[in-house]
A and B are shown apart, each in its own frame.
Chain A
Amino acid sequence: VCSASPDHPREHNSWVRRDTHLPAGSPEKMSTRAHAHPSRIEAHWRDPVRALATLLSFANTEEDGGRDILAAAERTNSAELRAHLRRHAEDELRHAALFRAAAATLRARGAQAPEHTQHRYDLRRAGRDELDPHGFLASHLYDERGEVAYVAFLHVAEARAAEHFGAHASATATLEPELARLFDEVLRDEKYHVAYTARCLEQWRRAGRAREVDAALRRARSSRAAIAWKQLGLRSAAGFGTGVLYVTYWALFTPFALLARLSSRTRNGAHNGGWTTCTSVSHPLEGQA
């Protein structure tokens, strides 16, 4: 499927050079610009708690992606694509280990991860059929949509990841040179991932499957846009809703809480523990309350 060998030495990284000569109209071009402002990214890495949380999150994303890709490699019939996907999975798992090591270094310097996320019920996790908990790959995408869609999805996601890691590498270049080197290393691999997926798609296109490839790419890009749009809406709603509930707590809850406290003092025994006899239920499956 994909003509080049995945077993190139990482130091030479011939894929990256080839990437600059991708044919015109290649599926996805990497941008050197990040979406977030560089100063915001720098501020992010200056805060050890956020930096630690981000590194752990990157590690989880890479590890989860690696597992998905490895599972996809087991499913494909093409030996060459399997080799690329396996190399890709290895890269992702190695990245996860690198990010974990960086997190451990940060922890050794005294940074602590924030408490476990309380956002389980946050609307931000909505659209759960499309979003994995950690990242960009929908589970079982390979089985559900097939080879071309999977590689297209990988291609778009990897191009985006390369863009992000590039921004992080530049932002940490002076602040955390060690971290910048890590991002550079990851970025080299991400460029290879973008390049081999691009080549696969290009070859399928030449083999007469151009419409299928274009549709898959459109779908991959549009689903990212749709998710981004949905997340924006949900984040706004979640923030607004939480604010309303804070106000409710102090405005409406106060009198009831005071009454409850008074009641528990006067009744003396409602919450003192001890065994309570259960009422017999003739129809255990009736009612919600």
Chain B
Amino acid sequence: MNRVLGVTADRAHPAAALVIDGVVVAALREDQLNRSMLGEALPTRACQAVLAEGGLAARDLDLVVVSERPLRRFERELAGHLWAFPNGAGAFARSMFGWLGERLWLRARLAHTLEIPPGRVRFVEHARAHAAAAAACLLPDRSHAALIVDGVGEWATTTLARVDSGRVTLLEEQRFPHSLGLGLAACAEHLGFAPEGDEAALERFAVHGVPGDLRALAAFFGLGDDGAIALGAQHVSSRRIQRRVLESVLGVARNPGRPPTPSDRGAANAAATVVSALTEATLAAARRLHDLAPLSSLVIGGTLARMPRLVAALLERGPFATVHTPPWPGDDGAALGAALVASPSAACVAPFLGTWSSDGHDPAEHIDVAREAARLVRDGALVGWVAGRPAFGDHSCGGRAALTDPGAPGARQRLLHALQRSSDHGVTWLALDEENARAHLVGYDRAEAAARYGTVALQPSAELARRAPEALEPDGRVRALVVPSSSPSGLDRVVAAARELGLVGLLVTDLARAGSRPPRLEVDALDECQRSGLDALVTARGIHLLGSSTLETARCHEPAAV
């Protein structure tokens, strides 16, 4: 028996994944358990939770595989400080404090925490873990080209690879500081977005602008025709220099954490220019990858894989027949990838890998509940939906969702405002069944897997655009969340019930207020709903109708079991 625990530690989203004989048992982000968004530590609770899900103790593990090589990363950090000298004494002190205090001793820390011999802790390159994770959602017996466009791993920033039956071969890479991901983070922060995690919002905002002259930005990135870039080390290491250069290219820096509104034409044009430059560079890298690995299927991982229009551009203008992005393109997914490098998966991996207990009840089992939820949506209510195991990755894939009618005027704004999120930058999906997706989404057959996890923006048919106007993005595309029948999220039954009531699909967003994660447990979901402006919550216990004065007015109706 091959029992492997994959771990991402000391990065933005610590996570753990348990794989037994090629079967992914569970995967969890640490912030799903401790609600801390600070991250960057050992995923202690996530390790315990996935081991409990697998019925194992840590001593039963054969290997613990970490999704990066810490000594290589330390070497890169030291080199970065050398290049940035004499700027950044403070950054050096802070960074080295962490490295010398904790990060360098990752093997010992993990061995001590899990109480296993240090020899069982292994390390794998970050890009390799990303590539394995990116291909995990696809059939494991095929070959795929893998394009990893990340901030930075150890040294590698952009990596070209191929995955054959789960085995990853790294072909070429670009190295720090020449990083599209770090360049994007700097530009996003300059424009008022979060440097990590707001990629999709920046891309959506860019639709409101017109790309300007790319030459200045191309000079900043040092973009080459083959997708190679040459970013100055000083641009990455010194914030003062970075700010000065970016101001000359993108205009005055916006307030951090206050993304601009679409009426700010200057910012929108700057964002459009950034996104356009990055898209061209990624397309060039994809063409180079196709030359090295002339396959029909492309998988994308890393920071830039969070941009659904970039994925669509690769689909429409790139050399590959099919393009796929997993629901876990970030560092959390690398934990799963690390485990899969040691024990390749024997089947497609679905994202519903979290741990939870619902006392054996699941609302998806109650057809009446799904019908009632669909009826509430049709009547204009904002409905929370919690079913099945929580999803692993960036969003809840419909398992922890807030739903509304995509045809009702103003529904998108109401939904996002109820969750205290910005209607300019909040992400919504259109949940559809497979039949409607095939009929109404252009290019669905080439991006089927990506559309199933909501990671691509596709062109809708005229009929879909007419029937679900609230699901249209500013550029007329739709972020589809195609729900297959018997989905673990149970959303397929609500979608089917909504279709019976005449709705083409459901407008969906994560059941999470601004700054928080989708809840894992029912009690947390109820808490989230009570503090939001949703009208009802459907959970394992039934339908909670929520009043405006929250706690006292929650009522619970037991569903009739089928």
Residues of chain B within 8 A (CB-CB) of A115 are: 256
| Additional 10 contacts, C-beta under 8 A, given A249-B89, A276-B175 | A67-B524, A90-B551, A121-B101, A139-B34, A253-B81, A274-B228, A276-B173, A277-B171, A278-B172, A281-B170
Task: State whether B94 touches A242 (Cβ < 8 A).
Answer: yes
Docked Cα-Cα span, A289 to B551, in Å, equals: 54
Give the distance to chain A from B189, nearest Cβ to Cβ, in Å.
10
Docked Cα-Cα span, A289 to B342, in Å, equals: 18
24 A-B pairs, CB-CB below 8 angstroms?
Answer: A71-B523, A90-B550, A90-B551, A115-B256, A120-B98, A121-B101, A121-B102, A139-B34, A245-B97, A253-B85, A253-B92, A260-B79, A260-B85, A261-B85, A264-B83, A273-B222, A273-B228, A274-B174, A274-B228, A277-B172, A281-B125, A284-B125, A288-B70, A289-B71
Residues of chain B within 8 A (CB-CB) of A285 are: 63, 65, 122-124, 341-342
The proximity string for A residues 110-130 relative to B, scoring 1 for CB distances below 8 Å and 0 otherwise, is 001101011111110000100
Q: Which chain A residue lies CB-closest to B341?
A: A284
Q: Which chain A residue lies CB-closest to B42?
A: A128
- With a 10 A CB-CB cut-off, give which of A74, A278, A281 has the most chain B CB atoms: A278
The proximity string for B residues 215-233 relative to A, scoring 1 for CB distances below 8 Å and 0 otherwise, is 0000000101010111101
The yes or no answer to A238 lying at the interface (CB within 8 A) is yes
Q: Which chain A residue lies CB-closest to B231?
A: A273
Residues of chain B within 8 A (CB-CB) of A256 are: 82
Interface size grouping (class) on chain A: 35 or more
Task: State whether B71 touches A280 (Cβ < 8 A).
Answer: no
Task: State whether B72 touches A121 (Cβ < 8 A).
Answer: no
How many interface contacts (CB-CB < 8 Å) are there between A and B?
147
User: Mostly helix, strand, loop or mixed at chain B's interface?
Assistant: mixed
Residues of chain A within 8 A (CB-CB) of B98 are: 120-122
The contact of B93 among A133, A249, A276, by CB within 8 Å, is A249
The proximity string for B residues 519-549 relative to A, scoring 1 for CB distances below 8 Å and 0 otherwise, is 0000110110001000000000000000000
Give the distance to chain B from A150, nearest Cβ to Cβ, in Å.
15
Name the interface residues of A242-289: CB closer than 8 Å to any CB of B: 242, 245-246, 248-250, 253-254, 256-258, 260-261, 264, 271-278, 280-281, 284-289
Docked Cα-Cα span, A257 to B78, in Å, equals: 10
The yes or no answer to A233 lying at the interface (CB within 8 A) is no
Name the interface residues of B376-418: CB closer than 8 Å to any CB of A: none
Task: State whether B93 touches A245 (Cβ < 8 A).
Answer: yes
Give the distance to chain A from B116, nearest Cβ to Cβ, in Å.
15
The yes or no answer to A86 lying at the interface (CB within 8 A) is yes
The yes or no answer to A141 lying at the interface (CB within 8 A) is no
Residues of chain A within 8 A (CB-CB) of B233 are: 271
The proximity string for B residues 361-387 relative to A, scoring 1 for CB distances below 8 Å and 0 otherwise, is 000000000000000000000000000
Give the distance to chain B from A99, nearest Cβ to Cβ, in Å.
15
Task: State whether A275 touches B288 (Cβ < 8 A).
Answer: yes
With A74-B523, A274-B174: A121-B97 Cβ-Cβ less than 8 Å:
yes
Docked Cα-Cα span, A250 to B90, in Å, equals: 11
With A86-B551, A120-B40: A288-B69 Cβ-Cβ less than 8 Å:
yes
Task: State whether B69 touches A249 (Cβ < 8 A).
Answer: no
The yes or no answer to A93 lying at the interface (CB within 8 A) is yes
The yes or no answer to B128 lying at the interface (CB within 8 A) is yes
With A285-B65, A285-B122, A288-B123: A250-B551 Cβ-Cβ less than 8 Å:
no
Task: State whether B71 touches A275 (Cβ < 8 A).
Answer: no
The yes or no answer to A49 lying at the interface (CB within 8 A) is no
Q: Which chain B residue lies CB-closest to A112?
A: B255
Give the distance to chain A from B17, nearest Cβ to Cβ, in Å.
15
Docked Cα-Cα span, A233 to B171, in Å, equals: 49
The contact of B230 among A93, A246, A272, A276, by CB within 8 Å, is A272
Task: State whether A278 touches B170 (Cβ < 8 A).
Answer: yes
Residues of chain A within 8 A (CB-CB) of B70 are: 288
Docked Cα-Cα span, A248 to B123, in Å, equals: 30
Docked Cα-Cα span, A281 to B169, in Å, equals: 8
Give the distance to chain A from B301, nearest Cβ to Cβ, in Å.
16
Give the distance to chain B from A279, nearest Cβ to Cβ, in Å.
8
The yes or no answer to B502 lying at the interface (CB within 8 A) is no
With A257-B86, A271-B83: A71-B524 Cβ-Cβ less than 8 Å:
yes
The proximity string for A residues 56-84 relative to B, scoring 1 for CB distances below 8 Å and 0 otherwise, is 00000000100100110010000000000
Give the distance to chain A from B98, nearest Cβ to Cβ, in Å.
3
The proximity string for A residues 151-194 relative to B, scoring 1 for CB distances below 8 Å and 0 otherwise, is 00000000000000000000000000000000000000000000
Task: State whether B172 touches A286 (Cβ < 8 A).
Answer: no
The yes or no answer to B109 lying at the interface (CB within 8 A) is no
The contact of B531 among A74, A93, A113, A274, by CB within 8 Å, is A93
Task: State whether B97 touches A241 (Cβ < 8 A).
Answer: yes
Docked Cα-Cα span, A154 to B469, in Å, equals: 49
Docked Cα-Cα span, A272 to B172, in Å, equals: 16
The yes or no answer to B75 lying at the interface (CB within 8 A) is yes
Task: State whether A274 touches B230 (Cβ < 8 A).
Answer: yes
Residues of chain B within 8 A (CB-CB) of A272 are: 230
Give the distance to chain B from A30, nearest Cβ to Cβ, in Å.
27
The contact of B226 among A132, A248, A275, by CB within 8 Å, is A275
Task: State whether A275 touches B174 (Cβ < 8 A).
Answer: yes
Task: State whether B63 touches A273 (Cβ < 8 A).
Answer: no
The yes or no answer to B36 lying at the interface (CB within 8 A) is yes
Docked Cα-Cα span, A289 to B101, in Å, equals: 19
Task: State whether A276 touches B123 (Cβ < 8 A).
Answer: no
The yes or no answer to B517 lying at the interface (CB within 8 A) is no
The yes or no answer to B35 lying at the interface (CB within 8 A) is yes
Give the distance to chain A from B155, nearest Cβ to Cβ, in Å.
9
Task: State whether A133 touches B173 (Cβ < 8 A).
Answer: no
Docked Cα-Cα span, A280 to B90, in Å, equals: 38
Give the distance to chain B from A248, nearest Cβ to Cβ, in Å.
8
With A71-B524, A120-B40, A289-B72: A242-B172 Cβ-Cβ less than 8 Å:
no
Residues of chain A within 8 A (CB-CB) of B531 are: 93
Task: State whether A278 touches B69 (Cβ < 8 A).
Answer: no
The yes or no answer to B177 lying at the interface (CB within 8 A) is yes
Task: State whether B97 touches A273 (Cβ < 8 A).
Answer: no
- With a 10 A CB-CB cut-off, give which of A122, A249, A264, A280 has the most chain B CB atoms: A249
